[in-house]
Structure 1
Amino acid sequence: MIQNIPKDFILGAASSAWQTEGWQGKKEGQDSYLDSWYKEEYFVWHEGYGPDVATNFMEKYQEDIDHMQEIGLTHYRTSINWSRFFTDYESLTVDEDYAKHISDMIDALIKAGVEPMLCLEHYELPAYLLETYDGWSSKKVVELFTSYAEIAFERYADRVKNWFVFNEPVVVQTRVYLDAIRWPHEQNTKKWMQWNHHKVLATAKAVEVYRKGNYDGRIGTILNPEVTYARSSSEADQKAAHIFDLFFNRVFLDPAVKGAYPEELIELLKKHEILFDHDEEELAIIKENTVDYLGINLYFPKRVQAPKHDWNPETPFHPEQYYDSFELPGRRMNKSRGWEIYPKLMYDMAMRIKEEYNNIPWLITENGMGIEQEERFMDDKGVVQDDYRIEFLGEHISWLLKAVEEGSSCEGYMLWAFTDCVSPMNAFKNRYGLVRIDIGNDLTRSMKQSGHWYKEMIKNRTLETKD
């Protein structure tokens, strides 16, 4: 099957500051939450590899941008590392060396014909703010973040026209305070919701600051809603899917786009005594400052069923009280990641945004396939023959193009990631890039077969997939 790709449809790639930069040039006191976690629990990171070296993008960014230009990327999304942007988080003293790096990177992207897209926070909460104010538990951090956003806009919004406030704002506190599976392993469901709310509030306040600046561009946020499927049509299974959706998807989707939390969610939070502290002024700010557009990260579906057992009343509340995960028999799998492969989730998400969220402009900001030991698939010329990735990307983009044909406002697709990069705990175990990073050979870059495929797709503006 051959599909035409609309002329203005974005075909880009993404990464983040902390997953690529490395610590070269980092000053004392500039650790992020991720840096602190790595120092405390380096042993949980695959083979001890982490953000200290990453891909050394600080020094090698021009080499990567040259590859972007060669492939023909239309856009590249990364983040500003909030923890490195300041030398003092209270007085908001900018680290001019790091600020210049961001400026130089922006200029290099533009020169290469690649439009930069910047995110203000991709898990890069400064460790100082976590230690001093308990992170996003505090309104003080919301205030400091808003001031950081204002400074970033003043410096770069003349050249950067597409901004995002957060990347996957639900993730860090879910792993740390709800599931307690990441450092510092504090189980506190109320704190989980407080962090959620303060990130929703910070999103609205950053949007407010951006609009007051009258910048020539737009501002959104990047969410990772898990496209949720009930095991069956039974009332119990449908309820399970509905409640999962409330707690993990609509908690950010609804305030970002509609300006308010779902009432049903608020009632559940009250019932379980985990309603976040807030006031009416905060709710008004959220209502008045919805986003211009959305970034959506999608990798795999979430399948749920009604719970099979009573909840243990002696354990802290967790939304899992209302659902069990469900594994679809016969599902396709990426065995390296343990994730189901279900490309139709792209279409289903597109239709949901069209029908439930006023068809707000949006794009896929992450989607990709991580595979272990890719050197197994390297030919005699040293090129990784990643046909599995080409098939995966093609199927997902195909469903997205079908949605566009049916009236979806989706503006494009950005794969994760442009180069192989460090991921939490996974480090370099699973590779995602169009461009390979050889960590045993001075981080040498080389294009995989998927990079050549992506280049041809962008050049020809057509996608060919199996029927």
Structure 2
Amino acid sequence: MKIDIPANFLIGAASSAWQTEGWKGKKDGQDSYLDSWYKNEPNVWHEGYGPAVATNFMENYQQDVDLMREIHLGAYRTSINWARFFTDHVNLVVDEEYAQHIDDVVNALVEAGVEPMLCLEHYELPQALTDAYDGWSSREVVDLYAAYAKIAFERYGDRVHQWFTFNEPIVPQTRCYLDAVRWPHEQNTKKWMIWNYHKALASAFAVKAFHEGGYEGRIGCVLNPEMAYARSSSPEDQRARHMYDLFFNRVFFDPMVKGAYPQELIGICREHGVWVDPADGDLEIIKQGTVDFLGVNQYYPKRVRAPRYAWNPQTPFHPEMFYEGFDLPGRAMNKSRGWEIYPKVMYDMAMYLKEHYGNIPWIVSENGMGIEGEERFMNEQGVVQDDYRIEFIAQHLRWLLKAVEDGSSCEGYMLWAFTDNVSPMNAFKNRYGLVRIELDEQRTRRLKKSARWYQSLIDDRVLELPDEEGAK
């Protein structure tokens, strides 16, 4: 079976600054949250690998760009490391060496015919702002972020025309303050909601600044909604799905796309004492600062059922009081990651956006598959034969292209990731890249089989799949 890929459908790949750069050239006071976490809990990072070296992109970026050119990659999404962009994060003193590095990367991408996409924050909250203001707990950090965004637009907006305010803005506070499974392990549900709110507000300020600056292009945000599926058609299970969607998807979708929070969410949060007190004019900024488009990271579905047990009133409020996770029997799994593989999630998310958010333009900003022990699939020439990755991408693309055929406004697919890179805790355990990174001193690069297959998608604009069983 052959599926045509529209000529204007973007095919690219993604990564981030902190997951690739390494610490070479980093100055005192330029730690991000991820750097501090790694320094405080190196034992939780697989085999001790972390952001200290990563892929040493600071020195190796040209090698990566050359490989992008070789396979005709359409676009590359990465981030500016906010923590490294300034030497003084309060007085906004730019680190000119690091700013020049971003210039060099952008220029190399443009010269190679690869569209640069820049994200302003990919978990790279400066530790200095956490120390001074408790991070996104403070309205002060919103203002500092907005000022940072303006400087970034002024410096790179002549060449970068696709911007993102955040990558997965809900994740750090969910892991750190709602579930308390990551350093600093502080359970504080109200802080979780304040961080959600302040990031939505900061995004709106950045969008406003971008539009007022008259820059060419557009600005959006990369969200990681989990397409929620109920265990059954019962009203109770359907209610559980609704509540999960409300707390973990609509908490950012609604303010960023519709310009306002769901009243149901506000009411429940007020009832449980975790709502915020917006400053005068803030909700109007959110209303005016809706995004031009979205990046949507998609890896797996979220399956829920009605909770079977009464909520313990001595437990801090958590949205889990309204739902319980459910494992679908017989589901396909990426056992290395513990994630369900369900390619139809692409189609369902596309229809969700079409139905609920006015079919806003969007791209798949991340999707991919990483497995442990990938080196066992190397051939005699040292090339990883990653047919599992090819199959994963193909099946997800198949459903995504069907959604486009059925009227979705999805404009492209960005693979996670272009190269293997460091992930939180996972480090290099699961390899996601089209390019293998050897963990030697040079961080040697080598294209995998999937890279050439990906090139064929870009060049031929055809997705080939095995014929369905019984098809003629």
- TM-score, normalised by the number of residues in structure 1: 0.99
List aligned pairs for 1:109-258, cutoff 5 A: 109-258=109-258
Matched residue type, 1:260: A
Tell me the residue number matched to 1:292. 292
Matched residue type, 2:209: V
Instruction: Tell me how far apart the structure 2 counterparts of residues 34 and 124 of structure 1 sit (CA, whole Å).
Output: 7
Tell me the residue number matched to 1:266. 266
List aligned pairs for 1:330-349, cutoff 5 A: 330-349=330-349
List aligned pairs for 1:55-70, cutoff 5 A: 55-70=55-70
Instruction: Tell me how far apart the structure 2 counterparts of residues 349 and 159 of structure 1 sit (CA, whole Å).
Output: 31
Secondary structure at the residue paired with 2:240? Answer: helix
Tell me the residue number matched to 1:12. 12
Secondary structure at the residue paired with 1:215? Answer: coil
Instruction: Tell me how far apart the structure 2 counterparts of residues 312 and 215 of structure 1 sit (CA, whole Å).
Output: 52
Is 1:458 aligned to 2:458, yes or no?
yes
Instruction: Tell me how far apart the structure 1 counterparts of residues 465 and 119 of structure 2 sit (CA, whole Å).
Output: 32
Tell me the residue number matched to 2:378. 378
Secondary structure at the residue paired with 1:397? Answer: helix
Tell me the residue number matched to 1:413. 413
Instruction: Tell me how far apart the structure 2 counterparts of residues 413 and 202 of structure 1 sit (CA, whole Å).
Output: 26
Tell me the residue number matched to 2:41. 41
Instruction: Tell me how far apart the structure 2 counterparts of residues 442 and 57 of structure 1 sit (CA, whole Å).
Output: 11
Instruction: Tell me how far apart the structure 2 counterparts of residues 438 and 215 of structure 1 sit (CA, whole Å).
Output: 39
Q: Alpha-carbon deviation of 1:355?
A: 1.1
Secondary structure at the residue paired with 2:132? Answer: helix
Instruction: Tell me how far apart the structure 2 counterparts of residues 202 and 441 of structure 1 sit (CA, whole Å).
Output: 39
Instruction: Tell me how far apart the structure 2 counterparts of residues 242 and 130 of structure 1 sit (CA, whole Å).
Output: 33
Tell me the residue number matched to 1:81. 81
Alignment size in residue pairs:
467
Q: Alpha-carbon deviation of 1:280?
A: 4.5
Matched residue type, 2:350: A
List aligned pairs for 1:393-408, cutoff 5 A: 393-408=393-408
Q: Alpha-carbon deviation of 1:326?
A: 0.2
Instruction: Tell me how far apart the structure 1 counterparts of residues 441 and 210 of structure 2 sit (CA, whole Å).
Output: 43
Matched residue type, 1:249: N
Matched residue type, 2:366: E
The superposition leaves residues 83-119 of structure 1 with CA deviations (integer Å, 9 ceiling, x where unpaired) of 0000001110000000000001000000000000000
Is 1:389 aligned to 2:389, yes or no?
yes
Instruction: Tell me how far apart the structure 1 counterparts of residues 163 and 288 of structure 2 sit (CA, whole Å).
Output: 18
Matched residue type, 1:300: Y
Q: Which runs of 5+ in 1 are unaligned?
A: none
Q: Alpha-carbon deviation of 1:149?
A: 0.1
Secondary structure at the residue paired with 1:130? Answer: helix
Secondary structure at the residue paired with 1:61? Answer: helix
Instruction: Tell me how far apart the structure 2 counterparts of residues 276 and 71 of structure 1 sit (CA, whole Å).
Output: 48
Secondary structure at the residue paired with 2:144? Answer: helix
Q: Alpha-carbon deviation of 1:33?
A: 0.5
Q: Alpha-carbon deviation of 1:71?
A: 0.9
The superposition leaves residues 303-347 of structure 1 with CA deviations (integer Å, 9 ceiling, x where unpaired) of 000001111111101100011000000000000000000000000
Secondary structure at the residue paired with 2:281? Answer: helix
Matched residue type, 2:228: T
Secondary structure at the residue paired with 2:249? Answer: helix
Instruction: Tell me how far apart the structure 1 counterparts of residues 88 and 114 of structure 2 sit (CA, whole Å).
Output: 32
**Could you say what the CA RMSD is over the residues aligned between the two structures, in angstroms?**
0.6
The superposition leaves residues 385-416 of structure 1 with CA deviations (integer Å, 9 ceiling, x where unpaired) of 00000000000011110001111100000000
Q: Alpha-carbon deviation of 1:278?
A: 1.0
Secondary structure at the residue paired with 2:412? Answer: strand
Instruction: Tell me how far apart the structure 2 counterparts of residues 71 and 180 of structure 1 sit (CA, whole Å).
Output: 41
Secondary structure at the residue paired with 1:121? Answer: coil
Instruction: Tell me how far apart the structure 1 counterparts of residues 441 and 326 of structure 2 sit (CA, whole Å).
Output: 42
Is 1:356 aligned to 2:356, yes or no?
yes
Instruction: Tell me how far apart the structure 1 counterparts of residues 280 and 245 of structure 2 sit (CA, whole Å).
Output: 25
Instruction: Tell me how far apart the structure 2 counterparts of residues 336 and 245 of structure 1 sit (CA, whole Å).
Output: 27
The superposition leaves residues 258-306 of structure 1 with CA deviations (integer Å, 9 ceiling, x where unpaired) of 0001111111101111001213511111011100000000000000000
Matched residue type, 1:421: N
Tell me the residue number matched to 1:446. 446
Instruction: Tell me how far apart the structure 2 counterparts of residues 81 and 17 of structure 1 sit (CA, whole Å).
Output: 6
Matched residue type, 1:141: V
Instruction: Tell me how far apart the structure 2 counterparts of residues 56 and 279 of structure 1 sit (CA, whole Å).
Output: 42
Instruction: Tell me how far apart the structure 1 counterparts of residues 322 and 329 of structure 2 sit (CA, whole Å).
Output: 22
The superposition leaves residues 10-33 of structure 1 with CA deviations (integer Å, 9 ceiling, x where unpaired) of 100000000000001001110000
- TM-score, normalised by the number of residues in structure 2: 0.98
Secondary structure at the residue paired with 1:186? Answer: coil
